[in-house]
Structure 1
Amino acid sequence: MFQLLKAEKTIDFMRWSKAAFALSLIVIAGSIFSLSTKWLNWGLDFTGGTLIEVGFEKPANLENIRAALKAEGFGDATVQNFGSARDVMVRLRPRENVAGEQLGAQIIAAIKTGTGEDVQMRRIEFVGPNVGDELAEAGGLAILVALICILMYVSMRFEWRLAAGAVMALAHDIIITLGIFSILQIEVDLTIVAALLTVVGYSLNDTIVVFDRIRENFRKMRKDEAPEVLNSAITQTLSRTLITSATTLFVVIALFTQGGAMIHGFALALLLGITVGTYSSIYVASALSLHLGIKREHLMPPQVEKEGEELDQLP
């Protein structure tokens, strides 16, 4: 009877746990090295600077605009469409001794001279460096608080070994995602922070589903060892994991390829986070709990002796 509780074809995931740990450690080490040397390419939200939105009478040629700005000494400007092909957003890092209004006039003049088109300034905004520092601190604190709350929640619902595996898996996903952003020097703005928090929630949901099945199997498969129980639980939930990840990735890939430059970083962070999170639910969260010594006794509910039973034991 208990044999029917296991999947008919159980995949031996734990067989490759050591190799998976080695791979994860290598990738994490590379990510930390890149973060310690290159750090992150902070966007305007964190560094401060000037944001200028201009409107064209016809669809704008972004390459011509970039070339025109570069010729006037604004080679570091970020140029992208905003809303429609006729609306363009120009973002510049802070410049000393140059007021925002003056900088906006210089940008408009450079675009008119370089493209020969009539453009209109729609809006101009200035973000100070102090505000950027506060946003960076708040974003990092939000991620840290989320991990601590998750550790407390999983510890209360399951067991500390499973909780440690879940939190390490989430940290694994965030470090690798940030490491790839650091290696490629992709601009990091507030949308990336939102994507990282989304990845934390998504990865945790997948991990909780696997942990629920692990707890059930430990209570039912009493004759099997811990590796066999984990393999059976992961195999039983594998189809759900793959279907959920695949359908989510379809949407994220569509955002990445068709969503435009405004959400390109957000979609890329989700794409990386969901892919790495699916892997970590199996080979980080579950495998780490196994190496921490998870056993059936740790997940069995405590037996409460009834009052009548205590009276029966009296002489």
Structure 2
Amino acid sequence: MSLQLIRPDINLDFVGKRYFFVALSTLINVLAIVLLFTKGLNYGVDFVGGSVAQIEFSSRTNGDAIQKALAPLDLGEITVQDFGKAGQSFLARFETVKNIGSIGPKLETALDKSYGPGVAKVVRVESVGAKVGSDLRRKGFAAVIIATIFMGVYIAIQFRHVSWSFGAGAVIALIHDVLVVMCALVISQYQFDLTTLAAVLTVIGYSVHDTIIVSDRIREDSTKRRREPIASIMNRAINETLSRTILTSGTAIVVLLSLLAFGGPILRPSAFTLLIGFITGTYSSIYIAGPVVLFWEGDSGRTKTRTGSSRAA
């Protein structure tokens, strides 16, 4: 006898609670938009240009002391933040310098004067021009928008025999997921760079995958129960795929929690982005994509599946 995580006859009323969760999601999305325009993302050097140096110390110090030690180098505005081991690992950001190859030794020399020889070590130095950073930021956000639209179009075409509203539900669910992830990044102030952007695009793909699983079950059930209201069919489909959803998402979340805890500071922003994205992607497949379809079709609407057209293209 096989072990079942959730009994097959479970019948939770997901559809009946949609108004509460849609209101909650709307509130979170509005908060995300406000935070994006007021506090903003913590853009990395990839998107704003400039130089960044990772500095390791053998003893504890603080950002103000590092800024004071580097001030004689005339690097423009310098910002310092903890990176990894608190008090001993830092990222120093400053304006792009012409000879980036020699900046590492200069930083170490300036730090040696304040802290003593060998206390500070420059691990790496990276530099991106302001124009290149601006172009990367613009193209990065364009990639997110285009991916969201085309994913929605794909789902709309795949499920056109059930209802074109599945495409609208998918797009709105993806927008919701991206906004929730951005809200989490603004609050946490994890660095938003090319690696984090790649994680956001991965979240879009994962969310669509989860939405397709639920939608495909709705399509299968609608061919068997053409006279049944779509709200009832949708609720049954969500319950039937619940065990698979929990197992798939749960496995991924456990891995991401491990990366977040033990992956180190370089992997932490992308692991955090994926973690929040996978959670909200699973949530939106149930409580956002479905309600959009119901709003479009009406709670008691019948599915529009045609005979012989129940398979995906």
- Could you tell me how far 1:120 is from its partner in structure 2? 6.3
Greater displacement, 167-176 / 101-110: 101-110
**2:79 corresponds to:** 76
Q: Is 1:26 aligned with 2:27?
A: yes
- The answer on whether the counterparts of 2:107 and 2:122 sit within 8 Å (CA) in structure 1 is no
**2:154 corresponds to:** 153
Letter in 2 for 1:298: K
- The answer on whether the counterparts of 2:35 and 2:183 sit within 8 Å (CA) in structure 1 is yes
The 1-side partners of 2:113 and 2:83 are apart by 19
The 2-side partners of 1:62 and 1:198 are apart by 39
TM-score w.r.t. length of structure 1: 0.82
- The answer on whether the counterparts of 2:227 and 2:302 sit within 8 Å (CA) in structure 1 is no
* Other structure's SS at 2:127 match: strand
The number of equivalent residue pairs is 288
Letter in 2 for 1:33: V
The 1-side partners of 2:308 and 2:237 are apart by 23
* Other structure's SS at 2:79 match: coil
* Other structure's SS at 2:267 match: helix
Structure 2: gaps of 5 or more residues: 1-7, 72-77
Greater displacement, 97-106 / 168-177: 97-106
Query: Structure 1 pair 122/26, CA: closer, same or farther in 2 (3 Å)?
Result: closer
**1:262 corresponds to:** 266
Match of 1:208 among 202, 212, 218: 212
**1:248 corresponds to:** 252
* Other structure's SS at 2:183 match: helix
Letter in 2 for 1:112: D
The 1-side partners of 2:253 and 2:115 are apart by 39
**1:219 corresponds to:** 223
TM-score w.r.t. length of structure 2: 0.82
Identity of aligned residues (%): 33
Greater displacement, 170-179 / 124-133: 124-133
- Could you tell me how far 1:155 is from its partner in structure 2? 1.5
The 1-side partners of 2:262 and 2:165 are apart by 42
**Deviation string, structure 1 residues 174-208 (Cα, Å, up to 9, x no partner):** 01110222233332111110110010011111110
**2:203 corresponds to:** 199
Structure 1: gaps of 5 or more residues: 1-6, 304-315
Q: Is 1:8 aligned with 2:9?
A: yes
* Other structure's SS at 2:297 match: coil
- The answer on whether the counterparts of 1:51 and 1:89 sit within 8 Å (CA) in structure 2 is no
Greater displacement, 115-124 / 23-32: 115-124
The 2-side partners of 1:191 and 1:89 are apart by 19
- The answer on whether the counterparts of 2:50 and 2:94 sit within 8 Å (CA) in structure 1 is yes
Query: Structure 1 pair 275/120, CA: closer, same or farther in 2 (3 Å)?
Result: closer
Q: Is 1:64 aligned with 2:68?
A: no
Larger C-alpha radius of gyration, 1 or 2? Answer: 1
**Deviation string, structure 1 residues 164-183 (Cα, Å, up to 9, x no partner):** 10111011000111022223
Match of 1:298 among 295, 298, 304: 304
Q: Is 1:107 aligned with 2:107?
A: yes
- Could you tell me how far 1:81 is from its partner in structure 2? 6.5
- The answer on whether the counterparts of 2:199 and 2:270 sit within 8 Å (CA) in structure 1 is yes
The 2-side partners of 1:51 and 1:94 are apart by 9
- Could you tell me how far 1:48 is from its partner in structure 2? 1.2
The 2-side partners of 1:148 and 1:53 are apart by 38
- Could you tell me how far 1:67 is from its partner in structure 2? 6.1
- Could you tell me how far 1:21 is from its partner in structure 2? 0.8
Q: Tell me how large the CA RMSD over aligned residues is.
A: 2.8
- The answer on whether the counterparts of 1:40 and 1:185 sit within 8 Å (CA) in structure 2 is yes
